[in-house]
Copies of this chain bind each other. A is one copy, B any other.
Amino acid sequence: MKVLVVGANGQIGKHLVTSIQNREGFEAKAMIRKQEQASFFEDLGAETAVVNLEDDVEAIAKAAEGVDAVVFTAGSGPNTGPDKTILIDLDGAVKTMKATEKAGVKRFVMISSFDTSRKAIQDAPESFAPYVAAKHYADEWLKSTKLDYTIIHPGILSNDKGTGQIEAASEVERGEVPREDVASVIVASLENESTIGKEFQVVSGTHSIQETISSI
């Protein structure tokens, strides 16, 4: 299974490309914004494609040609300006969905934020609300497509080493989760077709990633 990782140069993205390259039967294509980001991925033996998410759908579709799945883990992050929030977290995500469809790819995994419900937009601190809104509308758009989607809502991301132990369900109590474990959850989701059409929150816990994701 060849997987286009959109946002490969992000912190989850790097773990994900590493995970994929180490997994039998999987290979990653890292979509990155700048050529100088390529060496990290080339060292892992992964293909790269240099595309800016502010480019048009056709540019992204070209990167998606010939892959079996697309993972969207790009993000302007909650700390960039809200202009990038709408152009990357919402419009970049929707363009990636359109590009996926255009390339004839069905499988799409979205890395969302922990809670993207309407209530979460209302309850968010003012500086965070635009980011939650952008993720909300990206998730809503994805659910309206015919893509074989999975939406993953991770808790508070940490750079701790992955433990391989999580809790995942439609709703779990907010908590931390290492980015390395999120990457493993993405791979497990790609391996388990039972996650298609589903969305779930994930935090650190006491159950193995494989078992938890295969019973989602």
Contact = CB atoms under 8 A, between A and B. Distances in A.
Contacts of A56: 118, 122
* Most chain B CB inside 10 Å of its own CB: which residue of A94, A129, A137: A137
Given A137-B137, A144-B144, A86 B130 contact: yes
A162 interface: no
Interface string A66-96: 0000000000000001110111001100100
A57 B90 contact: no
A91 B94 CA distance: 16
Contacts of A57: 118
B85 A86 contact: yes
A32 interface: no
Contacts of A82: 81-83, 85-86, 130
A121 interface: yes
Q: How many copies does the complex hold?
A: 2
A56 B120 CA distance: 11
A144 B144 CA distance: 10
B85 A133 contact: no
Q: Do most interface residues of chain A lie in helix, strand or loop, or is the interface mixed?
A: helix
Interface of A: 56-57, 81-83, 85-87, 90-91, 94, 118, 121-122, 126-127, 129-130, 133-134, 136-137, 144
11 contacts: A82-B82, A83-B129, A86-B86, A86-B90, A87-B129, A87-B130, A90-B133, A91-B121, A91-B136, A91-B137, A137-B137
Given A57-B118, A90-B133, 19 more contacts: A56-B118, A56-B122, A81-B82, A82-B83, A82-B85, A82-B130, A83-B127, A83-B129, A83-B130, A86-B86, A86-B130, A86-B134, A87-B133, A90-B137, A91-B121, A91-B133, A91-B136, A94-B137, A137-B137
Please provide the 4 A-B residue pairs with the shortest distance between their CB atoms, ordered closest to farther.
A82-B83, A82-B82, A83-B130, A86-B130
